[in-house]
Chains A and B, each alone.
Chain A
């Protein structure tokens, strides 16, 4: 691919890469060639190419070309392979996500399939370390269970193809209801729709928490010790993350950590934990939850951790409903009836404190990535003051 064909395809973009990343993304066009033709200025260790901004950091047509070539390698029986509707999604702030529709001919018949590709970001993200393999393995394991999870096709841990590990899953059609929806009555058309989705939301969670993860080969995720082990493992995880990212001392978060270590509950069982189970992370279609998304925080632990996460204030929007869906008492009752796991306010309160701490640390991680220059997305800098709302909720939960 020469420089002229790059310009012809992409128009004017402004991109910023470390040198080796540019070589990877530009399909072999050297940094010197691009610099000579387009002009550049030096900034820290990156080269900024003045191509003007539509889609920062990614030269879309090049990515599309590479994915097409990759699909060809995975579908050797396919002829006339074509990609349509290729787009990069900017809703999320961590993984890079692309969706596209592929069509081809195979043994004389026409085949169509929608795909979503999730790639680890080249730059630092908001949840710390990424793990493509874990996500893929979990989604693959859930395929023959009642859990609404998108089927997966392939994963690659090498950086040779797209510059970072990635996996490809099925594109699921539908809408993603959000807590901050613009609609007059919240994210749902009416109470009946909300109730219907709420029930499925809890049923799906119950299915997830009762999967036999050992039989599914998911012990590699790291099972915590029984008893208080699950709770303490998570506390330690997020304390370690906080130690790595905090830019300024946070006495209230440290106070919360002291409380968490003293009040760790005993897990009723060890389950697969989604880790970010809430409104905004599932697709609805024709009145059904068709897929749960964003599995990057998946791990093994106390199932009530997901219940605590559901109860966090940010997911309620302007309503009194947990995750903008369901009243707290009804959530507990329905979950208990489906799983046989007893839910208490005290147990859930622990995980609400932990959940707020986790969310605060995620915000601080984002702010740290911005401060270090590893991710210049200014939306990450906004998290450097939004974290205060999680501290407010911690204060209320601990009666500070």
Chain B
């Protein structure tokens, strides 16, 4: 889910409030407002699951360590990749702070930059190295996708399209 919790909770509460006023049955209406009451109080207590964010961050750091190793010693690393190697090395060892969402996004941006760099300057590395880096990146993307898909529930398109 990519929207902020603050925005999601604000609009969930507003929507339930409007919907609740349209409910005819008094008992059903009371249930809707009880739900609003609970959700309003949940909103002040909830944050994104730290274990999911930590798993992604650890996975990215592990990926970066492997890529750094494949690029070899600093002196042997092609000039086109030296800055990237330093960036990946630093990111692989930096301990994340409290804001795990920001840290995950920072590392994801670095991965995107790395993939772009490996595409543009591919010819400067041996084919065996670039193939292995591709496989490592794909494997990470696959694991992240599997984690995200496992959390997703079946969309309610039909119900949402009716009015």
List residues of A whose CB falls within 8 A of some B CB: 14, 52-54, 56, 90-91, 178, 180-182, 247-252, 254-255, 258, 262, 364, 367, 370-371, 373, 376, 378-379, 381-382, 384-389, 391-392, 395, 399-400
Contact = CB atoms under 8 A, between A and B. Distances in A.
Given A258-B116, A370-B3, A378-B11, A90 B141 contact: no
B87 interface: no
B108 A248 contact: yes
B49 interface: no
Contacts of B18: 14, 52-53, 56
Given A53-B19, A381-B3, A384-B1, A254 B112 contact: yes
B123 interface: no
A90 B163 contact: yes
Majority secondary structure of chain A interface residues (helix, strand, loop or mixed): helix
A262 B119 contact: yes
Contact of B157 (A180, A258, A395): A180
Contacts of A52: 18, 21-22
Given A180-B158, A370-B3, 10 more contacts: A56-B18, A91-B161, A251-B108, A251-B144, A252-B141, A255-B137, A378-B12, A386-B152, A386-B155, A389-B155
Given A255-B141, A258-B119, A389-B152, A247 B7 contact: no
A388 B152 contact: yes
B21 A384 contact: no
Contacts of B148: 388, 391
Majority secondary structure of chain B interface residues (helix, strand, loop or mixed): helix
Contacts of A399: 138
Closest 6 CB pairs of A and B: A90-B163, A249-B108, A53-B18, A385-B1, A384-B3, A254-B112
B105 A248 contact: yes
Contacts of A382: 155-156, 160
Interface of B: 1-4, 7-8, 11-12, 14-15, 18-19, 21-22, 101, 105, 108-109, 111-112, 115-116, 119, 137-138, 141-142, 144-145, 148-149, 152, 155-158, 160-163
B83 to A, nearest CB: 19
Contacts of A254: 112, 115-116
Contacts of B119: 258, 262
Contacts of B22: 52-54
A400 B2 contact: no
Contact of A381 (B11, B145, B155, B158): B11
A376 B11 contact: yes
Contacts of A373: 7
B147 to A, nearest CB: 10
A262 B122 CA distance: 13
A392 B11 contact: no
Given A91-B163, A376-B11, A251 B158 contact: no
Contacts of A400: 138, 141-142, 145
Nearest to B20: A53
A400 B140 CA distance: 9
A33 B149 CA distance: 51
